[in-house]
Amino acid sequence: MKFIQTPVKGMQDFLPLDMELRSHVLSVIRDTYRRYGFSEIETPVMEHIENLSGRDGGENEKLIFKVLKRGRELEKGLKSGELCDSALRYDLTVPLCRYYSEHKNELPTPFKALQIGNVFRADRPQKGRFRQFTQCDIDILGDPSAMAEIELIGATTTALSRIFSEVSISAFTVHLNDRRILKAMAKKAGFEEKDYDEIFILLDKMDKIGEEGVKEELIKAGYDQGAVESYLSGFSLYRELTEGGVKLNGDALRDYLEKACGDTLEKEASDSLITVMDSSAATIDPSVTLLFDPTLVRGMSYYTGTIFEITIDNYSFSIAGGGRYDHMVGRFSGAETPACGFSIGFERIFTILRDLRWKAPESGEKKAYLVDLKGASGRIQEVFAHARAERDQGAVVTVEPLKKNAKFQIDTLEKSGYTSILKVYADTKLS
Amino acid sequence: MKFIQTPVKGMQDFLPLDMELRSHVLSVIRDTYRRYGFSEIETPVMEHIENLSGRDGGENEKLIFKVLKRGRELEKGLKSGELCDSALRYDLTVPLCRYYSEHKNELPTPFKALQIGNVFRADRPQKGRFRQFTQCDIDILGDPSAMAEIELIGATTTALSRIFSEVSISAFTVHLNDRRILKAMAKKAGFEEKDYDEIFILLDKMDKIGEEGVKEELIKAGYDQGAVESYLSGFSLYRELTEGGVKLNGDALRDYLEKACGDTLEKEASDSLITVMDSSAATIDPSVTLLFDPTLVRGMSYYTGTIFEITIDNYSFSIAGGGRYDHMVGRFSGAETPACGFSIGFERIFTILRDLRWKAPESGEKKAYLVDLKGASGRIQEVFAHARAERDQGAVVTVEPLKKNAKFQIDTLEKSGYTSILKVYADTKLS
């Protein structure tokens, strides 16, 4: 049978330099989240199919990789449910909810979880989009207050600031909105609740096709022209109020929400947004911009409150996103549990740093002993003992046979960061 | 649809304390292997089915989790090959060989690779055996000399010594053999090459059923009584020579091999074994026992030379194993590449340490601020700013709402290692 050298379609091999970068970024993320009191957990990459289907996971649910039941491939005419009872997870949120339901008696309340792991989507591969990729999620379960949002925004922006300051990227923006505000604006315009998801999908295109574009698409989709115009007037108002880079905070933001939503918005929602905006602004790194963004949608309909997304200047995609999902754990466990999470799109950050040719900081000396096995094979024990003593002191040391093509061997070692390279012949003194 | 709270059969959720232990052990392993000059790489958890089947992977190949082709589940009467073109990897060696074939022009020679990752086997779950588990492999590709074996044994035993010294386990044993010696002993007894695999499977039971048991099973399997007796006399001789704990090294080992194998063993094989034994003994931690073990088999028939396995006293299973497999990369790439690897069974080490109630070393202060949201909600900004300053200094700080059941909240925080816990009311001074 033929061997295939390339990785499975849409999946990545990582070379040593890639891995150094990935490990460094992950260690900064882990260290930051640890300081914020998050505890790392791990869940299996496989989940019960029942848990992954029909869970408001949006498009992702269509992209599930299903795993064949053992021994079932030989029978004929089986239906999907008989062929597969588990699948690869498409995010870390569903496994977290299952995990919390299963283990809540052993966990503190609120529970601040960090999960770093691979997720899988049978997406069409393209630049920066893969079929296996790493996500870094923090979630706070059991805290209904805005303090959860403030902690999540603080921790995520601090981790990103630490990572990007190394490549002199400091300008990034946290976009905030609330599903309740999204819904209140749609309700005020006269739309029906059953249409919200479709309307929000079209609204989400605002940054690409503009207000006029969204208007056209809503009308083309059959919505009433008056309702559409009323709906879009809320967004025009926001654009006017923030012209020239003005930011809406505190009372100005409250005024806007009253105008845009009227009495369709519960007071708790505007209170919460303003607390999150104001407290975060006062406590996060001053280089981070916090922005209320009424056009922010987020794909998953499981969100129930605050939603957020982080963008960096000069890049068209978001690098982190999340929000509050107060009903999802309850559906697993039967016990309602407020929950809020923020997920870093690790592959995007990795891609940005790699494109900027960023290198992980060097750590200490790297030495190589290249032993001439013709003349100095009797010295092997001595060289290994010498290397062992240096390794015990923390140095990076490799011991290898000297190759015929010594120049090439030395070149590649130097490329890997080895600075001290010694060829060991019968009479070479070890230093 | 019903939600299922438990993990998929045979797979594990890890609680925060488990994860602290796992992360600590992995960091010791990574640090040790880095000092030995190994570079970390990563490959996808999915592989082409062609690469996983018919690869001398022994029993493991029967335990493959196959992944359904996207969109294929709806058609009827498909055969296995049409349903699936990829599967979850069952080890890290096959992906490494594919990786090396694909990227060899970008890698140094010899290439010293470290790979830590999950592998999957649809095994019958039992204590210490899981369907998803972590392996830590080091491999040296491109070095045909015994230096590769010495580096691998040195690095693996050093990592294990560092890990187990923390729980006062120091007694472990490296069992060494060579596939060429196994074969030479079988050849000398008069067995045919086609029967070797079956004979070795029976020989592998020696530690459970003894020499008499192996003899009975070989005869029951239809082998000639004279050949069986001749075969077993080689092992009896070894038992006699090592009675009372005598170890065979150097010339004594060479003598034994001549008696047990005669001229069916190539000189290179005994030279290699003796170099590995003697150089390793001189350079590894003195607490590690190195033992030539003619009954050591290892399951995979892809091994071509040295094979090794590590056991610890009082445990019946091995905690690491590996060997030389000089033809596997060649079959992928067409270019023969000598290769040798050593794999740590991470889950077994984790289980041993957890059973010994080992705890990861604490690192620094952990503080909690519990804010009374009734009386002190106006102080949120102040508390978050205060916490931020402490986090910037490296402290672990959590900020949470004070729960109604404060005693329970504080108890669980203390269990998680928080030593300084402050309830924040309207008039509390932050320290």
Determine the Cα–Cα distance for residues A283 and A270; give it in Å rounded to an integer.
20
- Contacts with B37 from chain A: Cβ below 8 Å: 366, 368, 396-399
Residue B309 CA to residue B174 CA, distance in Å, equals 6
Shortest alpha-carbon distance between residue A218 and chain B (Å): 31
Query: pLDDT value at position B74?
Result: 46
- pLDDT of A56 reads 63
What does the alpha-carbon distance between residue A275 and residue A281 come to, in Å, rounded to a whole number?
10
Which residue, B60, B54, B51, is CA-closest to B87? B51
CATH topology classification for A16-355: BirA Bifunctional Protein; domain 2 (3.30.930)
DSSP state of B416: T
Scanning the structure block, which residue is given the tokens 């972590």?
Answer: B134
Half-sphere exposure of B183 (CA within 13 A, CB side): 17
Q: B-contacting residues of A 246-275, CB under 8 Å?
A: 275
The fourth-level CATH superfamily of domain B1-171+313-361 is: Bira Bifunctional Protein; Domain 2 (3.30.930.10)
Q: Which residues of chain A have pLDDT under 70?
A: 1, 54-58, 71-82, 360, 363
Angle at CA A408, nearest 5°, toward B136 and B337?
A: 45
Q: How far apart, in whole angstroms, are the C-alpha atoms of residue B11 and residue B125?
A: 9
* A108/B35 touch (CB, cutoff 8 Å), yes or no: no
Neighbours of A162 (CB within 10 A): 15
Residues whose CB falls within 8 Å of the CB of residue B200, separated by 6 or more in sequence, listed in order: B182, B186, B297
C-beta of residue B110 within 8 angstroms of C-beta of residue B347: no
Distance of CA A345 to the CA centre of its chain: 3
- Among A107, A388, A393, most B C-beta atoms within 10 A, so best to mutate, is A388
Q: Which has the closest alpha carbon to B372: B411, B400, B414?
A: B400
* Residue of B39, B327, B430 to mutate for A, most A C-beta atoms under 10 A: B39
Nearest to B274 by CA among B112, B110, B149: B149
- What's the distance, CA A87 to chain centroid? 21
pLDDT, residue A103, reads 96
Span A53-100, pLDDT tens digits: 865 656 777 789 999 887 544 455 555 556 888 999 999 999 999 999
> What are the tokens at A248?
């809406």
Rounded to whole angstroms, the Cα distance separating B20 from B2 reads 32
**Which of A188, A267, A271 is CA-nearest to residue A230?**
A188
- Per DSSP, the residues of B153-211 read HHHHHHHHHHHHHTTT---EEEEEEEHHHHHHHHHHTT--GGGHHHHHHHHTTHHHHHH
Which residue in the set B6, B45, B74 is minimally distant from A118, CB to CB?
Answer: B45
Q: Which of B20, B40, B70 is the closest to A16 by Cβ?
A: B40
* Beta carbons of B8 and A48 less than 8 Å apart: yes
Q: How far apart are CA B106 and CA B95, in angstroms?
A: 17
Q: What is the pLDDT of residue A299?
A: 79
What's the sign of the alpha-carbon dihedral B386, A273, A98, A120? Answer: negative
A147/B48 touch (CB, cutoff 8 Å), yes or no = no
Q: HSE (CB half, 13 Å, CA atoms) of A277?
A: 22
Among residues A276, A250, A281, which one has the least CA distance to residue A340? A276
Of the candidates A15, A37, A99, which has its C-beta nearest B397's C-beta?
A: A37
Q: Could you tell me if B168 lies within 8 Å of chain A, comparing CB atoms?
A: no
Instruction: Give bridge partners of residue B41 from the DSSP assignment.
Output: B115
pLDDT of residue B79: 54
Q: Round to whole Å and give the CA distance between B158 and A388.
A: 10
- Other CB atoms within 10 Å distance of the CB of residue A266: 13
Question: Is A361's Cβ below 8 Å from some Cβ in B?
Answer: no
Using the Cβ of B65 and the Cβ atoms of chain A, whether some distance falls under 8 Å is answered with yes
CB B218 within 8 A of CB B202: yes
Say if residues A5 and B98 touch (Cβ distance below 8 Å): yes
> A26 to each of A30, A209, B46, how far by Cα in Å?
6, 36, 22
> Between chain A and chain B, how many beta carbons pairs sit less than 8 Å apart?
293
β-pair type (B132-141, B339-345): antiparallel
Q: What pLDDT is stored for residue A73 in this prediction? A: 46
Interface test with B, best of A24, A48, A121, A277 (most B CBs within 10 A): A48
Give the pair of three-digit tokens for residue A1: 């049978």
How far apart CA A410 and CA A422 sit, in angstroms, is 10
Global pTM value: 0.93
From chain B, pick out residues whose CB is under 8 angstroms from the CB of A6. 102
B370: distance to nearest CA of chain A, Å? 11
* Cα–Cα distance for residue pair B166/B361, rounded to 1 Å: 10
**DSSP 8-state secondary structure symbol assigned to residue B42:** B
pLDDT per residue rounded down to tens, chain B (431 residues): 578 999 999 999 999 999 999 999 999 999 999 999 999 999 999 999 989 887 565 677 778 999 988 754 445 555 555 688 899 999 999 999 999 999 999 999 999 999 999 999 998 888 778 999 999 999 999 999 999 999 999 999 999 999 998 887 778 999 999 999 999 999 999 999 999 999 999 999 998 999 999 999 999 999 999 999 999 999 999 999 999 988 888 899 999 999 999 999 999 999 999 999 999 998 898 889 999 999 999 977 789 999 999 999 888 889 999 999 999 999 888 889 999 999 999 999 999 999 887 776 776 789 999 999 999 999 999 999 999 999 999 899 999 999 999 999 999 999 888 999 999 999 999 97
Distance (Å, rounded) from C-alpha A285 to C-alpha A279? 12
Nearest 5°: the CA angle B259, B265, B271 is 90
The Cα–Cα gap between A310 and A286 comes to 15
Q: Which of residues 8-47 of A touch B (CB under 8 A)?
A: 8, 11-16, 19-20, 22-23, 34-37, 39-47
Residue B140's DSSP bridge partners are B112, B340
Burial B107-143 (b: 16+ CB within 10 A, else e): bbebbbbbbbbbbbbbbeeeeeebbbbbbbbbbbbbb
Asked if the Cβ–Cβ distance from B108 to A412 is below 8 Å, we say yes
Termini Cα distance of chain B: 50
CA distance B2 to A302: 17
Domain residue ranges in chain B: 1-171+313-361, 179-284, 366-424
Amino acid at A229: E
